[in-house]
Amino acid sequence: MKMQKTIPALPVQSIKQSCEYYTNKLGFRIRHQEETFAIAVRDDIEIHLWQACDKSWKWRSIFLALRPIWTGAESFIAGTASCRIQVHGINELYEEYKRQGVLHSPDTVVQDQYWGHREFPAVDNHRNLLTFYEEIA
């Protein structure tokens, strides 16, 4: 037995807006798009986007303390996920994303980590965290 691949599934508020952002800002192409689901790809990376669109929790606010999540697709979940993406050419990607304005914050830099990675964080339009890393040789 051997596990071979993982595909992050990130909750977003709007599939249409996210597809535009992933295409125009993050350099992905949209391989598949439905009303509440999309697949974004770039090179060998695939990210699934799903719309956290259940807003019924708003009218159930008096019950939130007893049962805060009912469906798992509540709209407030959008932007709460993260994933790590291994890349080759971390500095080039950093410069691309710096130009696009998608870094986690204006003072974001590529950092060496003690566990052997060079990495930087970026965010999508709903503030899901995308950490890009390269193994230090």
Rounded-to-integer distance, Cα 11 and Cα 127, Å: 10
CATH number for the domain including 25? Answer: 3.10.180.10
In-domain check, residue 67: yes
- How do residues 79-100 score in pLDDT, each as one tens digit? 789 999 999 999 999 999 999 9
Extract the tokens encoding 37.
Answer: 């689901």
Rounded-to-integer distance, Cα 34 and Cα 13, Å: 14
Extract the tokens encoding 61.
Answer: 């606010």
- Cα R_g (the chain), whole angstroms: 17
In-domain check, residue 64: yes
Q: What confidence category does residue 116 fall into, taking pLDDT thresholds of 50, 70 and 90? A: very high
In-domain check, residue 116: yes
CB atoms < 10 A from the CB of 94, how many?
Answer: 21
In-domain check, residue 77: yes
Vertex 53: Cα angle to 79 and 71 (nearest 5): 95
Instruction: Quote the number of domains for the chain.
Output: 1
- C-alpha distances (whole Å) from 27 to each of 80, 135, 137 are 22, 22, 26
In-domain check, residue 1: no
Extract the tokens encoding 50.
Answer: 């799903």
User: Mean of the pLDDT values across residues 67-81?
Assistant: 66
pTM here is: 0.85
DSSP letter string over 106-124?
Answer: TT---EE-TTSEEEEEEE-
- How do residues 127-136 score in pLDDT, each as one tens digit? 999 999 999 9
In-domain check, residue 4: no
Q: For residue 123, what are the domain limits?
A: 9-135
Residue 95's H or E segment, with its range, is helix 90-100
> How, if at all, do strands 45-51 and 9-12 pair?
parallel
Extract the tokens encoding 129.
Answer: 């965290």
DSSP state of 90: H
- Confidence (pLDDT) at 18: 97
- Kindly tell me if the per-residue pLDDT of 68 is higher than 60: no
- Confidence (pLDDT) at 69: 55
